[in-house]
Structure formats: structure tokens, C-alpha cells
Amino acid sequence: MDAFWSHSWHGSSWMKIATVFFLSNATAACTISTAAAILAGIAFGLGWLPSFDSQSVQCFWCMGVGCVSYALALLYWRSRRKVFVDRICISQDDPQLKAEGLFSLGAILQSADEMLVLWDPSWARRLWCVFELAAFLYTRPSNLQKPPVSIRPTLLGHTIFSVLVALLLAGWTFHLSMIFGYSLQMGVLASLGLCGVIFFAIAHLARVYCRNVTTLCDQVATFRVATAKSYCCDVDHKVSGDDQPMICDREIVQRCIVKWFGSVPYLANRRT
């Protein structure tokens, strides 16, 4: 298995999905859209594609074809990497299958070549998330200089998307101002103005990221297995409309910790 993806179920799904799309497909999307834009430029130069403005030699096909092919490749490119995501790979409906999946987590983590942490402020509060990272590090050789763990904030997808929209708006505003006969200076000013508004929002995202890092430092410093957040304990192990008590994830985690590490305090000390 190529990678184990660790994420908090309490983070924004859309931000995680956007980040995963960019991390998995952005390279392919860039390559495909650049090639498509170059081909469109060559086709326009050879006269195979019509010009929207007979008075001008500017080609709008490159940007149009490049944008469309980038969006399509980003959404529909299928990476061949094999990854593990708990929400999909562990049964959430059958308690027996869920328990078996959780007990197999050690073997799953051991077989993963690397771990991707989709980090948001709720991640380090969750028992499962920190447990996954500690267990993954435990399964690596102790003499490893740099563990194969990538930590990516889920703000990343949102931020990259904002940058793309800003560049798109700037590019098309400039092109359209040329089509409608505005001066070059007016075109540059309009595109920079629109771009600037979105980059103001991106600066806000950067401030949010810095605040989140400060929160993470506090969360790591005060993390305890006994007090970390777990959904089953939050709802007092009761499922609405079901008399059977919910299986406690904290008990499973603690049993796994004792089985793998010998004792719970040993795992707690691994964070240092």
C-alpha cells in the first residue's frame, strides 16, 4: 500500500477533498493543461482554429483550452496510488467488522509506505488521529532519519483554489478588456484589482494557518490518551433508537496500545 491517509472526521469534508484533489492530481493537471494549451496555440497558428477578432492576432484558445483541460484533469484524473482511508476501508455499520478493522490497524499501518496527515485544528484533539500517527512511527525502523510522514493543512486546497481563481479572473479580465477595445493600462489595472481582492482573502487564510499552528503546539503539549476526544465517549456510547451500547473506541485503542507498546504511558511519551 502506498499511503495511509489520516484525517479528523470533525474537519471540513470539502476542505479535505479539495486538498486531496490538489495533492493527488495537480501535477497531472498541470502537465495535461500545458500540453493542451501549446497544441491549441499551434493549431491557432496554423489557422485550424478561428480567431474571435479579425483585427487582432491574439490567441484566446490557449487560455481557454488550458483552463478547461486543467479543471477536467484535476477532477477526473485517476491516480494509481493505493491508499487507505478509514471512512471507506473500515466498516462503519457492522460493529464486528469495525472492531476487526480497528484491531488490524497495526498491520495496515505497517504495510503503508508513507502517511499523509490531512491536518486541521480538530486533528490533534482526536484520540484516533494521534494514535494512528504514533502507531505508524512505531512501525518504522528506529534508525530512520526522517519518517515518511507528510503533514498538509486542509487549508491548502482552499488556498490553492483561491490562487487559481485569482489568476483565472486576472487572465480573463485582461483578455476581455483587449477584446472590447480597452487600453492596455485599463486591462492591467482591472485584472490586478480583481486579483488583489482575492489575494486579500488568501492573506486571511495565511493568518488562520498561523493561529492553527499555535493551537497545535498547545494541543500536542497537553495531549493525554484518557482525555483525548472520541466520538463514542462524547455521546456516552448511546445510539439513538438502539438499546445496545456503542462499542468504546477508547477501550479498543487502549488494548491496542498495551498489545503493541506494552503500556499506555509508553505511547504518551512517544510524542516527545
Given the rule CB under 5 A, which of 7-15, 149-157, 171-179, 243-251 is the region that contacts Zn ion?
243-251
Q: C-alpha grid cell for residue 159? A: 488556498
Q: What is the dihedral of CA 95, 100, 102, 104, to 10 degrees?
A: -170
**Grid cell of 166 as nine digits:** 485569482
Of 77 and 231, which has the nearer Cβ to Zn ion? 231
Angle subtended by helix axes 249-261 and 95-103, to nearest 10 = 30
Binding of residue 256 to Zn ion (CB under 5 A): no
Comparing CB distances to Zn ion, the nearer of 158 and 250 is: 250
Residue 175 makes contact with Zn ion by CB under 5 A: no
- Between the alpha carbon of residue 174 and those of residues 17, 61, 69, 101, the distances in Å are 31, 14, 20, 54
Cα 37 to its chain centre, rounded Å, is 27
Q: Least distance in Å: CB of 232 to Zn ion?
A: 3
- 248 forms part of the interface with Zn ion (CB under 5 A): yes
Least distance (Å) between residue 240 CB and Zn ion: 16
- With CB under 5 A as the contact rule, the residue among 186, 189, 233, 264 that binds Zn ion is 233
Footprint of Zn ion on residues 193-232 (CB under 5 A)? 232
- Among candidate residues 26, 8, 27, the one with its CA nearest the CA of residue 16: 8
Contact between 164 and 73 (Cβ < 8 Å): no
Q: Is 250 near Zn ion (CB under 5 A)?
A: yes
* Residue 253 binds Zn ion, judged by CB under 5 A: no
* Residue whose CB is less far from Zn ion, 26 or 233: 233
CB of 170 to Zn ion, least distance (A): 51
Instruction: Give 97 or 248: the residue with its C-beta nearer to Zn ion.
Output: 248
Of 125, 135, 81, 126, residue with least CA distance to 105: 135
Q: With respect to Zn ion, which residue has the nearer C-beta, 68 or 235? A: 235
Helices first, then strands: H and E counts in the chain: 11, 4
Q: Residue numbers of the site for Zn ion (CB under 5 A)? A: 232-233, 248, 250
